[in-house]
Amino acid sequence: MFDYQAPSQLLKDKVILVTGAGDGIGKTAAITYAKHGATVILLGRTTKKLEAVYDHIEQMGYPQAAIVPLNLDGAAEHDYVELANTIESEFGHLDGILHNASLLGERTPIATYDITLFEQVMRVNVTSQLLLNQALLPLMQKAKHASIVFTSSGVGRKAKANWGAYAISKFATEAMMQLFSNELVDLSPNIRANAINPGATRTSMRANAHPEENPETLATTEDIMPVYLYLMGDDSLNVNGQSLDAQ
């Protein structure tokens, strides 16, 4: 596991947006960030799940969260502008984005991959990240230090048979991270961009991808949080353009 011990108030006074915050890794990251002092903006497509995370954060006495129901598949440019306006009026700035939401798509050969599904996976896993960054960069420029964290995958570095659109979307995510990290050096040196490869982790996406596997043998979402904390907090101020393994 990535070795990092976060100070208990690592993210105090930071405002952090987490996509796909209602389930799996995103849910645990949102709660973990709140536990370390952040005000977390919970973005996802299933309001009920976001409300459950919101309630948990409230019950634990962490800073009050905010909920943004948004389906990254159907969202248009004006939805992202509206989101930026809301964050601006509520918080005035943004200290971090965790791009976590993703679709697995089908585990089938690329030669016969369904094009409608391909485009959907690319919209959710790739295009939405660009639209979010473009809309939210001005708010991150207002932060003292800001961190953009993308979520990669093993198949985003080496494509394996039958990982289809998902693998392509994760290669594209690695490229987007590198582009932002290289360009922000001049454009906005207060913002850094990195990626995390979570590794095999006990979530519903993993169970769908590997139905034959015993989930009990896998790392839990809590196990992989050290690298999520490290890249979001100021201990990684000098880290830019890296793709780190959580495990």
Ligand X SMILES: NC(=O)c1ccc[n+]([C@@H]2O[C@H](COP(=O)([O-])OP(=O)(O)OC[C@H]3O[C@@H](n4cnc5c(N)ncnc54)[C@H](OP(=O)(O)O)[C@@H]3O)[C@@H](O)[C@H]2O)c1
In contact, 170 and 120? CB cutoff 8 Å: no
Binding stretches for ligand X (CB under 6 A): 20, 22-26, 44-46, 49, 71-73, 100-103, 124, 151, 153, 198, 200-201, 203-206
* Structure-token match 């993993």, residue found: 206
Upper half-sphere CA count for residue 184 (Cβ side, 13 Å): 26
173 alpha-carbon distance from chain centroid? 11
CA separation for the pair 8, 201 (Å, rounded): 24
* 3-state SS string for 60-94: CCCCCCEEEECCCCCCCHHHHHHHHHHHHHHHCCC
Paired residues of 97 in beta bridges: 17, 148
CA separation for the pair 162, 112 (Å, rounded): 10
In the complex with ligand X, which residue's Cβ is closer, 107 or 145?
Answer: 107
Q: Of 163, 193, 32, which is closest to residue 103 (Cα–Cα)?
A: 163
In the complex with ligand X, which residue's Cβ is closer, 207 or 237?
Answer: 207
In the complex with ligand X, which residue's Cβ is closer, 139 or 218?
Answer: 218
Kindly state the smallest distance separating residue 186's Cβ from ligand X, in Å: 28
CA separation for the pair 30, 230 (Å, rounded): 14
Active site residue 166: yes
DSSP 102: -
Kindly state the smallest distance separating residue 89's Cβ from ligand X, in Å: 23
- Among candidate residues 33, 166, 228, 230, the one labeled active-site is 166
Kindly state the smallest distance separating residue 192's Cβ from ligand X, in Å: 19
In the complex with ligand X, which residue's Cβ is closer, 126 or 143?
Answer: 126
Kindly state the smallest distance separating residue 16's Cβ from ligand X, in Å: 16
Return the residue nearest ligand X (CB atom): 24
Q: Which residues are catalytic?
A: 166
